[in-house]
Structure formats: C-alpha cells, structure tokens
C-alpha cells in the first residue's frame, strides 16, 4: 500500500533546522543528533516499573565544520566553562527549531541545562582528497520541553 496522500503538504524537513544557545554565537551545524526524552522510572518490589516523576538528562551531538572558526572557538570556550573552576554560566538554555519546506510550519523544543561535555575530532588520512572535516560536540541536556 502506498504512502500517497498520507503525508500532508509542507512537511518538516530533516535538512531545515536551527539550534540556538543563549549567550553564544549562532551555530550552523551540518548534523544534529536526535534525542530521547525519557521519564525516570523506579522498579517496584513486584518487579514492575512506576514513574519516578522526573525526566532523565540526555546527550545530543552537533557537528560543526572545522573551518567555522568563530563557532568552534565559542564551543571550545563553553567546553572549558564546565572544567576546573566551573563557571556559574556553563549551563545554558537552548532552542531547537525544525522547519517545514516553506518555513510556515515548525516544531520547536526548549533545551534546559545544556553544557558541552565532549569534543571529538575525526580521523585524518593523507589518501583522502578533500572531504569536509567536522568537529563533533556532545551537549548534555537536563530536559527538553516542546514549545
């Protein structure tokens, strides 16, 4: 059975998104990982589960082209704010906006308690002929709330 007519016009596209964090420069990641918004649970004596009432923190990964020097510098500063003498400003609020083809429809999430916890650089090799180098940053998020 086909999908024709099942998807409404002007759908939200995977390639149309924006991610913003308060107190930083605008980022233009080539990739943003998905995330799971999961409710805490407790195991009861009868081996069943019940809601723990809160949400679990989660991680999301963003990939930034290595030649975006201002964005990389901002992410490096943010990473350092959570180390050593931890800055009181290391946790930031963010917004993820997913847009439709026309920009008329969107789905947005507020991301609370965000901080950069990890940077990963790619493997490099001389035989590669010009692929884009991207730096990945793992951002810990305390909770997400649909807007």
**pLDDT tens track for 98-109:** 998 887 888 999
Among 88, 19, 24, residue whose Cα is nearest residue 60: 19
pLDDT at 4 over 80: no
Q: Any idea which fold 12-34+58-124+133-146 has?
A: Pnp Oxidase; Chain A (2.30.110)
pLDDT at 11 over 60: yes
Distance CA 111, CA 15 (A): 20
- When pLDDT is cut at 50, 70 and 90, the band that residue 5 belongs to is low
- When pLDDT is cut at 50, 70 and 90, the band that residue 44 belongs to is very high
| Helix, strand, or coil (residue 122) | coil
pLDDT at 63 over 80: yes
């Amino acid at each position: 059975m086909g999908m024709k007519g099942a998807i409404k016009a002007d759908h939200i596209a995977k390639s149309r998104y924006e991610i913003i964090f308060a107190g930083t420069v605008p980022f233009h990641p080539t990739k943003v990982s998905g995330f799971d918004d999961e409710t805490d649970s407790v195991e009861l004596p009868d081996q069943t589960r019940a809601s723990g009432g809160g949400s679990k923190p989660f991680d999301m990964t963003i990939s930034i082209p290595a030649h975006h020097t201002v964005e990389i510098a901002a992410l490096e500063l943010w990473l350092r704010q959570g180390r050593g003498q931890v800055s009181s400003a290391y946790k930031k609020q963010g917004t993820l906006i997913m847009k439709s083809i026309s920009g008329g429809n969107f789905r947005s999430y507020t991301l609370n308690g965000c901080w950069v916890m990890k940077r990963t650089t790619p493997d490099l090799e001389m035989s590669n002929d010009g692929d884009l180098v991207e730096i990945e940053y793992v951002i810990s998020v305390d909770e997400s709330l649909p807007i």
